[in-house]
Structure 1
Amino acid sequence: MKLATWNVNSLSVRLPQVLDWLAANPVDVLALQELKLTDDKFPAGAFLDAGWQAQWFGQKTYNGVALISRTEGSDVVKNIPGFEDEMSRVITATYGDLRVIGAYFPNGQEPGSDKFAYKMRWLDALRDWVQAELQNHPRLVLMGDYNITFDDLDVWDPVALKETIHCTTEERNKLQALVDLGLSDSMRLFDQPEKNYSWWDYRDFAFRRNRGLRIDHILISEALKAQATGCAVDKAPRKNERPSDHAPVVLTLA
C-alpha cells in the first residue's frame, strides 16, 4: 500500500500534472491541499474517468483539501469536529480499516499575529480530535502540509530562519504534541539524503539551489509503524513547467 500527500497550489492549474503523477505513481490514497476551488468546480469527472474515487472539501483562495483513492472512502468528516472554522482545511475518510486524515495546516503568517494565534488554537483542537480518533481507529495516518518543520534538519538555513514562521519553538512544540499521541514521523523512520525538503520558494532559484523546508509530513500510528517500508520526497513534479512549490511525499506500507 502506498499513501501520499501533495500541496498542489491550485488544482485547476495542476490537474494534468496530478493525473499524470497518479498514472505513473498509482498510490492507494493521495491527500491534496490548496485546491483553490469551490466544491462545484472540483474535477470529480476527470478523476473518475482516470479510475479514481474522490472526496473533497473545496474553498477558493488558499484552502481546500481532497482525498483521491483507488476505492471509495467511508465515514467522511470535514474539518475538526467541535472547532468552528470558516476554512476548508481537513478531510478524513476510512479505507478498509485504515483511517486517513488529510490536512492543510494554517500558515500562521508570523509569530505574534492573529493568524499565528489561530494556528495555535487550530493545532490544539486537532490534537484533541486526533487523540479521540486514535481510540476508535488504531490504524491512522495524518498527512498533509503541516507548515511546520520538526527541527533544524528540515531547514535550509536554520540560523537565518530561527524562530521565524514554520520554525518557531511554539509551532514545533505543537507538532511534538501530535507525535506524543503515539504517532511517528514516517520520513524519519528511514535514512534520508541530506537537505531533504518538500517545499521550495518560487523566488531566487530556490529549488535549483535546494533552499527549502520540509513541511509536508506523514505521521502514522504505532499500529502502522511496523508495516512502514519506505518514505521519500518525489522531487520530479517540482521540475515540471508551472509546478507547485511543494513536492509529493510518499509512504510505502507492507
Structure 2
Amino acid sequence: MADLRGKGVDVHLKNVSRLFQVGGETFQALSNVTIFVPSGVHWSLVGASGSGKSTLLYMMGLLERPSTGEVWIDGQRTDTLKTGERALIRNRRIGFIFQNFQLIPRTTALENVEMPLLYQKVPARERKERAKALLAQVGLSERENHFPSQLSGGQQQRVAIARALVTSPGLVLADEPTGNLDTASSKDILELLEHLRALHHFTLVLVTHDPLVASRAEHQIRLSDGRIVGGETG
C-alpha cells in the first residue's frame, strides 16, 4: 500500500451511492454522487438535516464504504482496501472534528491531543512536545492540564482541533464544528480553522446546515435527498 504521509491529499468520489436498511426498508443516503476535492482547498458541504452531507463526509474519511461507486484518495482507490489498511490511512492522513467535540472526559487537554500519537506508537516525549505545540497554536497553552469539564465549549472545540491536527493530516474533515457553539465562539473557530489551514496546508471539508458558515469556504456543494443539487463538484 502506498505511503501517503508528508503531503496534502485530494479526494475523488466516483458515482457513489450509499444504501441503509432502516426498519426493514431501504433508505438511500447518497445517490450517484461524483465529486473531486483538490488538495489544499476549503470546501463546504451544505444542506438540511438528512440531505446526505454527513454520509458523504464519512465516505471521504473512510468511515463508510459505498454501496456502489469508488472512493479515491491521492490516486489510490480506498473502498476496496481491507479494514486495517483503511484504518491506517485514517490514522496517518485524516483528521476529524465533530460537533460534540468527542473529548475523553477523564483526561486532560494535553492527553486528549496526544491520543492519536499514542495509536501511532510515537515516543512519549515527542507526543508531549507535539501536543503542546498544537495547543499553543490554538491558544490553549495555559489550559493544557485542564479537563474538558473545566473548559468552555469553544475551548473544547479548540482542543479537538489540536487533536485532529497533531498527526499532520493532509485532509481535515469537520462535521458541524460550530453546531454546539454560540455566535461569537463559532466565528472564532472558523477563523482559527482558516488560519491553521493556511499554516499547515491541509485540505478542509466542512459540513454545515448554515449558509453563512458555508459561504466562508472557497467552494460549496449543496445536497438534498442524497443528491448534489448545486455548487462546484471539481
What's the TM-score bracket when you normalise by the shorter of the two chains?
A: 0.3 to 0.5
What TM-score, normalized to structure 1? 0.36
What TM-score, normalized to structure 2? 0.38
Compare the two structures and name the one with the higher helix fraction: 2
